[in-house]
Chains A and B, each alone.
Chain A
Amino acid sequence: QVQLVQSGAEVKKPGASVKVSCKASGYTFTSYHLQWVRQAPGQRPEWMGWINTGSGYTKYSQNFQGRVTITRDTSASTAYMELSSLRSEDTAVYYCARELGTAVDAFDIWGQGTMVTVSS
């Protein structure tokens, strides 16, 4: 079945970086863009950016001030999200999600989420 499986929970110190992986299966990886969304405890989801898994083209939210980088490895059907210069406010569950289809950036398949805790 179609699924996205993410890497495990991370605990990082302020100023460090974290890299979360998202492995796709059950469909052609390069046929759908992948999005990254985070959700702090009790808060609304926050969109971070997306990657065209075919071309590698990326688009990011300016709200992260250049701290986020999304990449992919097509041979492994895996996308990655790296967030740098971590601060306590970055503590959240990070999700990858697949777009529903071309020009329909509603997200129909989600990873299970990766908890990232930033604490000194």
Chain B
Amino acid sequence: DIVMTQSPDSVAVSLGERATINCKSSRSILYSSNNKNYLAWYQQKPGQPPKLLIYWASTRQSGVPDRFSGSGSGTDFTLTISSLQAEDVAVYFCQQYYRTPYTFGQGTKLEIK
């Protein structure tokens, strides 16, 4: 199985500041034939299912604010929130869909400082 590891486990950021979450896969999830990274990012708030934010590592899902962006390739990826808003407090997960079983990172809890 491809193991997804996020860092940090939790982070506190001031309102309006930048938040950065990292995700590392145990093997490359870049498919050479189409040059796409099979990585998604989700936001989960208590009592709710995960919400898709980013897919193909950097494509923002429809309706997601542009303060959310994704980057990286191969095995190392980053989710950036450019200017933290109060409603961004949540747990964030990365997920690889390169190979089954699809696997998720352990989550990063984002709080307000």
* Chain A interface residues (CB < 8 Å from chain B): 35, 44-47, 59, 61-63, 95, 97, 100, 104-108, 110-113
A105 / chain B contacts, CB cutoff of 8 Å: 38, 97, 102
- Contact between A108 and B49 (Cβ–Cβ < 8 Å)? no
What total of A-B pairs shows CB separation below 8 Å?
A: 49
Do B93 and A100 have beta carbons less than 8 Å apart? no
The reply on B72 being an interface residue by CB < 8 A is no
List the interface of chain B (C-beta within 8 A of A): 1, 38, 40, 49-52, 55-56, 61, 93, 95, 97, 100-107
Nearest CB in chain A: distance from B42 CB, A: 8
* Contacting residues, chain A, for B105 (C-beta < 8 A): 44
Q: Which of B55, B100, B106 contacts A106 (CB 8 A)?
A: B55
Cβ of B103 to closest chain A Cβ, rounded Å = 7
Q: Which of A44, A62, A113 contacts B49 (CB 8 A)?
A: A113
Contact A110 B50 (CB under 8 A): yes
Known: A107-B50, A107-B52. A62 touches B101 (CB 8 A): yes
Question: Given known contacts A107-B52, A108-B52, A108-B61, is B100 in contact with A47 (CB within 8 Å)?
Answer: yes
